[in-house]
Chains A and B, each alone.
Chain A
């Protein structure tokens, strides 16, 4: 009590501070707390994946639509940086808790079973053995993270050496009508030609194949994660669990189709 009074004159600030620290410790330093972090950041990143896909699909509405959309996003200024830092924070927390949880899981069983799972009721094997997607979350996740880094270098930082098209996306600008390609545009003055970047980028078969594989892996990751996050947040039960599982599978499939439709259509010549 004396310590408390000496710190804040008995106004209760000390208690509030201690409570807040306990709350933070309870989240970051416990198994269940880290599972909350996984679920919440996972849900946030899922939201980003959906919005990004919807934005990408504007490519089907023609160059003007997607270029104008991109210009509007770029025009958000500080808000754009808030979103970027928020996303980076979520990615960081998601990966940190994933690595922490997975290493704890590894330590929790250092000796594996010798026998393959063969229950006396053979049909129950599928219930007893964890699904492949659930067993490989850390691998699918880390590969997706590596892909996301490459994808940023490809289209955001526009590193010419990795696009495989022999072009410099940095020089792709579009006129004020958002449709006509502009030669010799200036950064900060003219808008980037996103449409041309997409077409040029995905015309390279290897780039498209890598993209499709990465998106496939992302959707595989989501097929488990989207249903497990409800459990981690404590909102799953046997009545709604089948619907959550269906939601996870359907959302993953839709996201897969939505994303891959673009490289497929570029390679097939539907978008040019």
Chain B
């Protein structure tokens, strides 16, 4: 077993949405390099509970990198900045003994902090509800391959569909822009035949909702793509820009 580590944590603590919040410092003792970042926080929380203090609130669910719940900025980088990795899949072996780690919540007006590291990401849900779906008849299961989908199109659609909606793109963007998320959702459905009937309406409605939620605008810095745990490409933002222009010309309004 590798040598256990001792770390210093500087964590954002905020009692509720109305609290101003502050940083508090904690020590994490005997941390195994094989632990994930969240397991390390679990250990710290155990200690806090034992000493009668309030544990650090953070979101987590699947802990295998697919649910997109664990939203935290570690040392200034969303999810810690390892390529294609969520915070729950980030292992403590990437940190060195004795170092100080700063942990902050996503910072965006559209993602208000609920408590400590937990932010409200329902803005993403509302964007999805405006068009991130297809309308199909319910009933018996359709025949397989009844709708031919070109392989390259479906591959590209699946690349976009990888988005888990974690919000790291917003967290990393200097403008807190949600365009990588919205681009992934619009692109995913516009690339497959099933998404065609609602294609224009979807692009117009989702972009409008994105604006209404108070996210910023894309400055093409590439920060989002660099922190995205699913490595969604910046190309999808260009595709969204095309989709929106196409929808404006074809339909003009939702």
Measured between alpha carbons, how far is A51 from B46 in the docked complex, in Å? Answer: 68
* Residue among A101, A131, A135, A234 with most chain B CB within 10 A: A234
CB B18 to nearest CB in A, in angstroms, measures: 14
> What residues on B are CB-neighbors of A111 within 8 Å?
107
| Contact with B73, one of A26, A113, A227, A233 (Cβ below 8 angstroms) | A113
Which residues of A206-242 are within 8 A (CB) of B? Answer: 224, 227-228, 230-238, 241
CB pair A26 B235 closer than 8 Å = no
Q: Which residues of B contact A23 (CB under 8 A)?
A: 248-249, 252
* A30 contacts chain B at the CB level, 8 A cutoff: yes
- Annotate B183-196 by CB proximity to A: 1 below 8 A, 0 otherwise: 00000000000000
Q: Within 8 Å of chain B (Cβ to Cβ): is A88?
A: no
What CA separation (Å) do A142 and B185 show in the bound complex?
Answer: 35
Given known contacts A107-B214, A113-B107, A120-B94, A131 and B221 CB-to-CB distance under 8 angstroms:
yes
Q: Could you pull out 29 A-B pairs where Cβ atoms are within 8 angstroms?
A: A23-B248, A26-B248, A27-B248, A30-B208, A31-B179, A32-B207, A32-B244, A34-B217, A101-B217, A108-B109, A108-B177, A113-B73, A114-B10, A114-B12, A115-B10, A115-B75, A115-B102, A117-B75, A120-B82, A127-B222, A127-B225, A128-B81, A130-B223, A131-B221, A137-B219, A224-B220, A231-B234, A238-B235, A241-B234
7 additional A-B residue pairs with CB within 8 Å, beyond A19-B252, A32-B240, A118-B81: A30-B208, A30-B211, A114-B23, A121-B94, A124-B81, A234-B242, A236-B238
B contacts, CB < 8 Å to A: 10, 12, 23, 73-77, 80-83, 90, 94-95, 102, 104, 107-110, 172, 174-177, 179, 204, 207-208, 210-211, 214-223, 225-227, 233-235, 237-245, 248-249, 252-253
